[in-house]
Structure formats: structure tokens, C-alpha cells
């Protein structure tokens, strides 16, 4: 086993008769190095943005959400409360009521989603998502709301705006009156106290206000649409979900934070794998330089192959020599690229050399994951091996009597 490795290593760094072989080999190494470098850097950047997305989602969405199975609203009864709070992992249970409404400010009118929350809603998490104003939902004398950045931009609304925001929704307790449409609408008024940003979907339609205001506007006295559970530190949301499903039964739909944002996570994951596929294609194209280099090396080393065969070396050994030769080129080039990329990513994590302006983070987000390093190295190694199969086969079947 050592002989093929030794010969392949000597062939890689020995002087060739044809200088073009050295040039093509160098280009192949460079191509694999650049490809591996780009793969690690780009995948780490995508990991960084996924981490930022996860952090913002964690600050907005609860760890577990409970809704009624088949009903739009329900009541938070003492029986339901006792079953949920009996679990030692549950730290807080907030009530919420959501519905589509029409939001009007000045001459601007948009479809939005009202989210009324109880007083024990985890506002401390939302504070870090505020970009203007503060978290204040007001009281019965004056209601306030915290608006998503996209919705506030559409309405030209900001904290301290002089006019009241009007919220319209069709009344459920009376029939629609075509002669007097306004009489069929329930209206509520509030002011903007803050602007927050999470993601495009929520930013463009959601605003948060008090549960009392939402129940009054939507004519759902005492009713809610969901319960938002905050768990104690170290609690496993998946395990708590299983316990709740056993305790509450099939009447309730229980979802973890990740399940609530399943589509977002799938999109991020798809983008990462699509990017990996494109970069792998670049490496495949670069691997053809190895193919050309090995074919020329086989022609250059025909005399050596004849000598080795005359000494009794088997074809399988000759084949392994050139397989290792191609693998060396790929592994050395790709390995150098991976090392340089890891150094760059780690430095960016520690020192934040590349800065972002007007963003929720100061430095360009990156996150180095060992599985990405392993996957990139495996891709480089496999491509180097596969592209070497045909040149190695040609070298192995070269006949001694044809070598001159």
C-alpha cells in the first residue's frame, strides 16, 4: 500500500519533461482550492443568516403554541389552565387573539393582522426587535399598538404620529347592511407606540395590541385564539409537546416554535443545499484539469510504467499510483482552500472585519459548522478519486511492447 502512495507523491512534485503538466496540475490545485474556499465561506455565511433568523424568531414566536382543533376561538378555562400549569417545565402562559382586519391611517389603508396579547406576554423579548419607540399597549383610557415595520411603512405611520389609527372589522353580531355599510363594521382607535421587525411576512401585516382591545373590537368577549407557552431554561419543547398532547387530548393542536416556522426553515435549508450543488458543479468543472493533467502524466511516464511492470509490479498497483496522484491534487488544493476559509470565517466571528450598515447586526453574520467542513472535504476527495479512474485505468493497461 505504501508503494503507490510514495510513487504518486514523487510524481506530483518531481520535474516533468513536459512543463504543461506542471501548469495544468497547478491550475487544478488552484481550482479546487478556490472552490473549497468559496464553499466553506458561503455555507458559513448562510449558517450565519440562519442563526440570525432563528434568533429573531425566538424573540417573537413562543416555544409552544396551543390552538383549538376545529374552532377559531376558545376560552381559557380553569380546567385547561390547571392541566397546562401542572407541567413543571411551563414558566408562563400568555393568551392571544389574532384576526385579519383593515388598518387605516390618514389616507392610507391596508389589510393587516391584529394580535391582542395578555399582560403577561413576554414583552422583554420583543424589546430587542423594536427599531423605533417602545413596547406600550396602553390601557382602557388610550390603547396603543406596536406595528410591524412593513405595515408602518405602507401606512406612513411612526411612533408619535398625531392622528389615531383606525381599525375596521366586520361585526359578527349583525347582518351586512348594503344601505349603510359602516354600520356593519366594528371600529377601534389606537396610537402607535413602537415599530418592530422580525421577518417580511410578519412585518408587512402584523401589529400587537392589548387583548382587551382585540376582544372588544372583534366582539369576542373573553375568547382567545391561542395560548403561548414560555418554558423554563433547559426544557425540551418537543418533550413538553408530547406531554401536553397526552394531557390535553386530540381536541387541541400543539406546535413547537420550529413547527410554526417550518416553511421558513425549509426555504433556508433548500437555499443552502442549492448553493452547495452550484459550488459542487464548479468543483466538477475544475476537476477536468486533473483529468488533463493525469492523461499527460501517463504519456510522460510511460517509460516508468514499463520499468515498473518489468519489475513485476501488478496493474492494480499502477492503477492505485495514478488514483492517488489525482487524489493528492484534489486533497492538497482543496485542503489549503478549506484551511484558509476556516481562518477567515473564525476571524470574522471573533473580530467582525466585514461590517453591515443599517442592519440588526453590526458585523456580517457567519457560523462555521464542522459538518460543512467534512462535507466539503469529502466532496473534494471523491471528485479527485472519480476523475482519476479513467487515466489510472489507461496507465494500468499500457502494454510494455508499446512503450518506446
Per-residue pLDDT 10s for the chain (404 aa) are 576 767 766 666 666 555 667 777 788 888 889 999 999 999 999 998 888 877 777 788 889 999 999 899 999 999 999 999 999 999 999 999 999 999 999 889 999 999 999 988 876 677 878 889 999 998 888 899 999 999 999 999 999 888 899 999 988 767 666 655 666 788 999 999 999 988 888 899 999 999 999 999 998 999 999 999 999 988 899 999 999 999 998 899 999 988 888 888 888 888 889 999 999 998 898 888 888 888 887 777 777 777 777 777 787 778 888 888 888 888 899 999 999 999 999 999 888 888 777 666 677 888 999 999 999 999 999 998 898 888 888 877 877 655 55
**Geometric angle at alpha carbon 358, from 341 and 265, rounded to 5°:** 60
> What is the per-residue pLDDT for 263?
84
Rounded-to-integer distance, Cα 387 and Cα 1, Å: 21
Q: Which H or E run contains 18?
A: none
Cα dist from 182 to 175, 219, 347, whole Å: 12, 16, 61
Report the interhelical angle of 302-310 vs 262-300 (nearest 10°): 80
| pLDDT at site 14 | 66
Which 8-state DSSP code applies to residue 183?
G
Place of cell 402607535: 192
Q: What is the rounded distance in angstroms from the CA atom of residue 272 to the CA atom of residue 376?
A: 13
Is the pTM higher than 0.75? no
> Residue 109 has which C-alpha cell?
389603508
Amino acid at each position: 500500500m505504501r508503494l503507490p502512495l510514495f510513487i504518486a507523491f514523487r510524481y506530483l512534485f518531481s520535474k516533468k519533461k513536459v512543463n504543461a503538466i506542471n501548469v495544468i496540475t497547478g491550475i487544478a490545485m488552484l481550482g479546487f482550492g478556490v472552490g473549497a474556499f468559496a464553499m466553506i465561506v458561503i455555507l458559513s455565511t448562510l449558517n450565519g443568516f440562519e442563526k440570525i433568523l432563528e434568533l429573531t424568531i425566538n424573540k417573537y414566536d413562543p416555544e409552544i403554541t396551543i390552538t383549538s382543533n376545529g374552532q377559531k376561538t376558545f376560552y381559557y378555562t380553569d380546567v385547561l389552565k390547571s392541566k397546562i400549569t401542572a407541567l413543571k417545565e411551563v414558566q408562563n402562559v400568555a393568551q392571544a387573539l389574532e384576526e385579519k382586519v383593515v388598518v387605516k391611517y390618514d389616507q392610507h389603508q391596508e389589510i393587516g393582522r391584529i394580535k391582542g396579547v395578555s399582560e403577561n406576554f413576554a414583552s422583554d423579548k420583543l424589546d430587542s426587535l423594536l427599531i423605533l419607540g417602545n413596547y406600550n399597549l396602553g390601557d382602557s383610557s388610550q390603547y396603543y399598538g406596536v406595528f410591524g415595520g412593513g405595515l408602518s411603512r405602507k401606512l406612513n405611520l411612526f411612533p408619535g404620529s398625531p392622528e389615531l389609527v383606525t381599525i375596521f372589522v366586520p361585526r359578527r353580531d349583525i347582518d351586512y347592511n348594503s344601505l349603510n355599510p359602516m354600520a356593519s363594521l366594528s371600529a377601534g382607535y389606537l396610537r402607535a407606540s413602537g415599530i418592530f421587525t422580525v421577518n417580511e411576512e410578519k412585518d408587512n401585516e402584523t401589529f400587537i395590541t392589548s387583548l382587551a382591545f382585540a376582544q372588544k373590537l372583534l366582539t369576542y368577549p373573553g375568547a382567545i385564539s391561542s395560548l403561548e407557552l414560555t418554558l423554563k431554561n433547559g426544557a425540551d419543547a418537543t418533550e413538553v409537546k408530547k406531554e401536553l398532547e397526552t394531557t390535553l387530548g386530540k381536541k387541541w393542536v400543539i406546535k413547537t416554535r420550529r413547527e410554526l416556522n417550518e416553511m421558513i426553515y425549509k426555504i433556508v435549508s433548500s437555499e443552502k443545499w442549492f448553493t452547495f450543488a452550484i459550488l459542487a458543479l464548479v468543483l466538477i468543472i475544475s476537476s477536468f484539469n486533473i483529468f488533463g493533467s493525469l492523461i499527460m502524466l501517463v504519456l510522460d511516464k510511460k517509460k516508468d510504467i514499463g520499468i515498473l511492470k518489468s519489475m513485476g509490479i501488478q496493474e492494480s498497483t499502477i492503477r492505485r499510483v495514478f488514483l492517488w496522484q489525482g487524489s493528492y491534487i484534489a486533497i492538497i488544493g482543496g485542503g489549503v482552500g478549506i484551511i484558509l476559509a476556516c481562518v477567515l470565517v473564525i476571524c470574522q466571528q471573533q473580530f467582525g472585519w466585514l461590517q453591515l450598515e443599517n442592519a440588526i447586526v453590526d458585523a456580517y453574520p457567519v457560523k462555521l459548522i464542522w459538518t460543512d467542513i467534512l462535507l466539503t472535504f469529502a466532496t473534494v476527495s471523491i471528485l479527485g478519486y472519480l476523475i482519476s479512474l479513467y487515466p489510472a485505468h489507461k496507465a494500468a493497461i499500457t502494454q510494455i511492447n508499446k512503450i518506446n
